[in-house]
Amino acid sequence: MIDLYLFHIAPLSLSKVVSLAIVLFAFIYVSISLRRSLSNKSRSYRLGLIALNFLAGLSLAALIVSPASLQYANTSSLLITSPDYDLELLESIDYEEVFKLGGHDINLYHSDTSVSFDEAFDSDIQTVQNIQSLFWKLPEMSRLTIVGDGLSQSVLNEINQSLLQPLSVAFKPSKQKAGFSRVNWTQRLNLGNYLHIQGLIHSTDPRVNSVALIDPAGDQVTECKLLSDESFSISAKPRLAGRHTYQIVLKDSKQNEIVREAIDIYVEHLAQAKLLVVQSSPSFETKQIQNWAAENGAQLMLQTQISKDKYITRLTNIKDVRSRDFTQDLLDEFDLLIMDGRALLGLTTEQKQMLREAVELGLGLFVIADQELIDQKQNLPSWMAPIAIQQTEESREMVPYWSDNLDGFTAPIESFMPIIAADFIPENQLTAIQTNMRTLVQASNGWPIVKSLDVGLGRVTVSLMRETYRWVTNGDRTSHSHYWQNVISKAARPSESPLELQQISYPLFKGQRTKFCIESRLPIDSATVTSATMPDDEQVVHLLRGENTLSRYCGYFWPNQAGWYRVNVSVSESDQHYEDWISISDNDEWLALQQSNKRRDTLRYIQKQSLSSEHHKTKMYQPINQWIFWWIFVLCASLVWAENKYMRDE
């Protein structure tokens, strides 16, 4: 394939190459013959005949190679992606073709008057059911203007797969809808834990709006006041196990309801983690942890040192234990051991070895950092060295952020908490690269506050925040409860269940490809996903093991109905069985959120386009009419023949 400025030549076959060689030889031979036979003619006369001979040879060569002219397509199309778009904003857009996505009716608004989609444009309106069909209709399209809400990431991926040549994309977003433009919550909860809902609202009312949470019985649980485009965080404590639907309501300053959305949750009745707290002296921190355990049904044993070898023991929701001494039997009975730094460093060599063995077998160790842990970090067990801390100039106050789902770190309430004068040693200063460390809680600038280190089947966690009881003294028991249930779920002994469905970022929508992952210590092949309302809607999902995490199996399914879907997983070559639930929202729910997501995805897609405007030009090749070369050849060859027959003797 050869591009010669404005011409394009396709790859040549062997026969065409031979033909071109013959033409070239004939041209050279005839040119030499003409020069010799016309030696008595003027120089301009000879050059004229040679030029005619050259044109004849060139046209004959063109007939052989069949060149095409190189052009740049400049077709611009307009794609309407959502209804209720302001027609006035389209007047500045240059387009040749107009398309609407999907078969639904679309209205455009102009001067407060609704205009039907087909009446708004002079050109023919074409409907495309999917994005691929748009490029089938216009393969030469070089510019596409997207107007409306935009396109989802999955549709934008289809654009990349459909493109045969570069495409320039512009976006004219529609007016932002009032409602919840961002929201997330944890759908699967343990009975006794809090449901936390966080998000962002958009309202046309510039005054104070409110967000209320309604429980399944129809009673208002809580309410918060905020302005438009501000974030919110509300909580509730489900009292019964099972599948439940809460309602979240946005109201304006006059308490008129703007939008109401459903919050689906699945509450499991599972046993709470068993906590062992060993402290070197009494503290407000462990006192509030004990109160939290009593309120939430967690089992806790608190041991407070009063002298070198004497401890006071208090039990919460536990009748008795097999041993109250720091032995292997005691550690095996609990899921998480919480210690301050001084208590950890005070263990004997034998007890430290015993603790390591217990952690490697699955026990979680949660260390609340103190000055002793900073000053004596060299005395830490070697297996804890990667998670050591170092002294800083002064203590700080930071807003702690932790993660409930796949959307990243969020703070249920932006309240500052004191952090001790220490930092974790940066990973680039460690003697070896650690791939088994993770940040559980961080500050708004990304600085880690709580980090964990996987050790065998268990993990060691260190916290620089040692005064979480301040949440309670400030009247915010919800944040205190949320924090501890979050870190305990990630720091404690892993669940004994061989299978566990990973948290999914909600809400999910009907008709969209949905990914789910299952953590399994046993090999699994597939899962069955069945609609609770339509039993015939059953899909078998083949699960693939992850490359980086061999215990994680992931797959996709396409929900055809809104509502609950049951996930059933069977372990390969075993009778073990696992069941969980996934909730699917209808496409007419969470409209402001869907619009916000599409707008974000479309803008990201455009920002990733790094091609220059010249590269965005679409090359098109138009075959040149072969009759032109034929008539040039006939004319030039005829003139050369006529000169030889009638003019040579003069």
Q: Higher pLDDT residue, 289 or 646?
A: 289
Q: Are the beta carbons of 29 and 57 closer than 8 angstroms? A: no
- Going from the C-alpha of 10 to that of each of 22, 55, 67, 226, 622, the distances in angstroms are 20, 21, 7, 65, 12
DSSP 271: P
Angle separating helix axes 626-642 and 43-65, nearest 10 degrees = 150
Taking residues 194-219, report their average pLDDT: 93
Write the CB contacts of 293 (distance below 8 Å, at least 6 apart in sequence).
272, 275, 299, 300, 316, 317
Residue 506 has pLDDT above 90, yes or no: no
Task: Residue 342: count other Cβ atoms within 10 Å of its Cβ.
Answer: 17
What's residue 279's pLDDT?
A: 92
Other Cβ atoms less than 10 A from the Cβ of 235: the count is 20
Residue pair 135/162 in contact (Cβ under 8 Å)? The answer is yes
Q: Residue 495, SS3?
A: coil
Q: Could you write out the DSSP letters of every residue in 304-341?
A: EESSSS-EEEEEES-S--S--SSSHHHHHT-SEEEEEH
Q: Give ∠ CA 492-498-499 in degrees, rounded to 5.
A: 95
Mean pLDDT, range 139-159, rounded to an integer: 78
Q: Please give the structure tokens belonging to residue 524.
A: 């699994």
Kindly report the number of other CB atoms within 10 A of residue 351's CB atom: 15
**Cβ–Cβ < 8 Å for 384, 355:** no
**How much is the pLDDT for 71?**
53
Instruction: Tell me the pLDDT tens digit for each residue of 577-610.
Output: 778 889 999 988 999 999 999 999 989 888 876 5
Which of the four pLDDT bands, split at 50, 70 and 90, describes residue 74? low
**pLDDT for res 547:** 64
Q: How far is CA 506 from the centre of its chain?
A: 12
At residue 395, the pLDDT reads 82
Of the pLDDT bands very low, low, confident and very high (cuts 50, 70, 90), residue 9 is low
pLDDT digits (tens, 9 = 90+) for 308-324: 778 888 988 888 777 78
The tokens describing 452, both together, are 């964990």
The band of 207, judged by pLDDT with boundaries at 50, 70 and 90, is very high
Residue 428 gets the label, from left (phi > 0), alpha (psi -120 to 50) or beta, of alpha
Tokens linked to 331:
């550690």
Residue 418, classed as helix, strand or coil, is strand
Task: Work out the percent of the chain whose per-residue pLDDT is above 90.
Answer: 22
When pLDDT is averaged across residues 426-454 and rounded to a whole number, the result is 79
Where does the pLDDT of residue 5 fall: very low under 50, low under 70, confident under 90, or very high at 90 and above? very low
* Strand ranges (E), 38-140: 68-73, 75-80, 85-86, 97-101, 107-110, 113-116, 125-128
**Taking CA 471 as the corner, what is the angle to CA 469 and CA 476, rounded to the nearest 5 degrees?**
135
So what's the pLDDT on residue 494? 76
The b-or-e profile of 29-38 (16+ CB within 10 A means b, else e) is ebbeebeeeb
Whole-angstrom distance, CA of residue 631 vs CA of residue 594: 62
Is the separation of the CB atoms in 472 and 482 below 8 Å? no
Between CA 423 and CA 427 the distance in angstroms is: 12
Quick one: pLDDT band at residue 463, thresholds 50, 70, 90? very high
Q: Which of 278, 176, 156, 260 is nearest to 218 (CA)?
A: 260
267 closest CA partner among 284, 243, 286, 248: 243
Q: Residue 307, Cα to own-chain centre: how many angstroms?
A: 53
- Over residues 174-195, the mean pLDDT reads 86
CA dihedral 358, 364, 367, 368 (to 10 degrees): -150
Q: Of 88-102, 113-127, 329-343, 453-467, which range is least confident? A: 113-127
Q: Using alpha carbons, select from 624, 609, 625, 621 the residue that is nearest to residue 72.
A: 621
Residues 149, 170: Cα–Cα separation, whole Å:
13
Could you give the CA distance from residue 234 to residue 261 in angstroms, rounded to a whole number? 14
- What is the mean pLDDT of the segment spanning 569-577? 71
Question: For residue 99, how many other CB atoms are within 10 A of its CB?
Answer: 20
Q: What share of the chain is helix, strand, coil (3-state, %, to 5)?
A: 30, 35, 35
Q: Is 611 exposed, middle or buried (0-12, 13-18, 19+ CB in 10 A)?
A: exposed
List b or e across 445-461, with b for residues whose CB sees 16 or more CB atoms inside 10 angstroms: eeebbbbbbebeebbbb
Rounded CA gap, 267 and 190, in Å? 6
Beta strands at 257-268 and 188-190: parallel, antiparallel or unpaired: parallel
pLDDT in tens, 360-401: 988 999 999 998 888 887 888 888 888 888 888 888 888 888
In 3D space, the residue among 402, 408, 405 whose CA is nearest the CA of residue 479 turns out to be: 402
- Residue 554 pLDDT > 50, yes or no? yes
Residues 6 or more apart in contact with residue 197 via CB below 8 angstroms: 183, 184, 185, 213, 233, 234, 235, 248, 263
| Strand-pair category, 274-279 with 299-305 | parallel
- Dihedral sign computed on CA atoms, order 627, 629, 634, 639: positive
CA distances from 498 to 242, 378, 567 (A): 21, 38, 15
Residue carrying structure tokens 């439940």: 244
Long-range contact set of residues 209-212: C-beta below 8 Å, sequence gap at least 24: 209/250, 209/251, 209/252, 209/253, 209/258, 210/250, 210/251, 210/255, 211/248, 211/249, 211/250, 211/251, 212/248, 212/249, 212/251
Find the mean pLDDT for residues 90-104: 64
